[in-house]
Amino acid sequence: MSEADNRGTSVLLPSSSVSIYTKDPETLRAAQETEQDWRFARVKIKIVDGDVETAIQAYKEYASPDLVMIQTDTIDEAFTDRLEALAGHCDEGTSAVVIGPVNDVNLYRRLIDMGVGDYLVRPIEKTVLADVIAKTLIEKIGITGSRLIAFLGAKGGVGASMLAQATACGIADILGQKAVFLDTAGGWSTAAVGLGFEPATTLAEAAKVAAGNDEDSLNRMLLPLGEKLSVLSSGGDVMLEPTITAEQLEMLVGKLMVKYPVVIADLSQSPDILRKIMLTRANQIVLVTTPMLPALRLGRSLIQEIKEARNGGHMELALVINMQGLAPAFEVGKKDIEAAMECPVAAQIPFEPKIFSGNEHESRRLTDDAAGRKLVEQALLPLVAKDLGGGLEGDAPPPEKSGVLNGFLRKISSKS
């Protein structure tokens, strides 16, 4: 099994474009459901009620996408002739997948020999369609290796922001991974206090330069806090008015994930609409709660809503119990928490006001003193370290681009 087969179902896919041409209601529905899959946050999917002829007419006038999928009711010489005509109108490097009516090994081999990347037999389930698209895009473009880790508190005051900041520092200072910290709270952000910087921009300004592909301006908004850690120096937003849409935030995060292999996002004080889009796209979610009943009840509801928002798809969630020992007489035990939440407890962090409040008051990173560093190493990094291996910062080139329509074009050229 190739690297794409192994990783295509569990990574945020690279920025790319896909067009799906079909007249079949079931395939249309599967394609629409694929758009909601968190892996496809950076993939632009265009669903067209059409066939190979529709695609030919489109690419006579417009540039072709990274991947074009064509569904047909008949597989004969006439169709393969039109498939070759389509290849002649596609940009070099465009990949192709055909969806057909019959399972035929000889037909499959013939299409592969023509340069088609894969052949699927209808009806197509959403999971199969999504995995084939993922595999094709990774083989063509490569795996970026970027990872989005979202921190969220079950309620206010549970310490999610501090733990998000501490984890970002640990990833950079201890694991040595290049990372960026993003607080989506806008004007409500306290990151400037905890990490010791002055807000120099707003989320709205950052989203604007991201949308305009203004790399220089975006770089100026990213404040280095050491050799490996940067922070988006936002926090100057107004507090009582919305300043950024979910679509703008998604675009901004997409830009950051191109530049940084690890993005840590604090969702603690962000508007609900921003939380939802980030939680559906995150590779990993860290849900922070205290062992007290009010936070636990909200946390349980949050877990269920996150599952629904992700359409029941894969969800890597780490449940963190913070401030253990703050009020022992009123705290729920670990076994009872896991039974009620239907989720294992990933970490329990003791109530240590001297470490957390003291460092925040002095704008000192938690990893800068021995006690804080030990806590980060033992309690927080195990939550994320297993997913940061495999050379996120490596300079290894992406996989060689697959043939597909590239091969298609070469075969057509050889005939002339």
More confident residue, 180 or 367: 180
Query: 81, 52 in Cβ contact below 8 A?
Result: no
At 286, is the secondary structure helix, strand, or coil?
Answer: strand
Q: Tell me the angle at which helices 246-259 and 272-281 cross, rounded to the nearest 10 degrees.
A: 40
CB-facing half-sphere around the CA of 361: CA atoms within 13 A: 6
Average pLDDT over residues 386-409: 41
Domains of the chain: 3-143+398-415 (3.40.50.2300), 147-387 (3.40.50.300)
In this structure, the number of other CB atoms found within 10 A of the CB of residue 413 comes to 9
**pLDDT at 36 (0 to 100):** 78
Query: What tens digit of pLDDT does each residue of 156-203 get?
Result: 999 999 999 999 999 999 988 889 999 998 888 888 888 888 888 889
Q: Whose CA is closest to 250, among 210, 299, 199?
A: 210
- Per-residue pLDDT at 387 exceeds 80: no
Average pLDDT over residues 16-36: 91
H helix and E strand count, the chain: 18, 13
Residues 6+ apart with CB under 8 A from 256: 180, 182, 232, 263
Alpha helices, DSSP H, located in 22-153: 25-35, 52-61, 77-89, 105-114, 126-141
- Per-residue pLDDT at 416 exceeds 70: no
Q: Tell me the angle at which helices 77-89 and 405-415 cross, rounded to the nearest 10 degrees.
A: 100
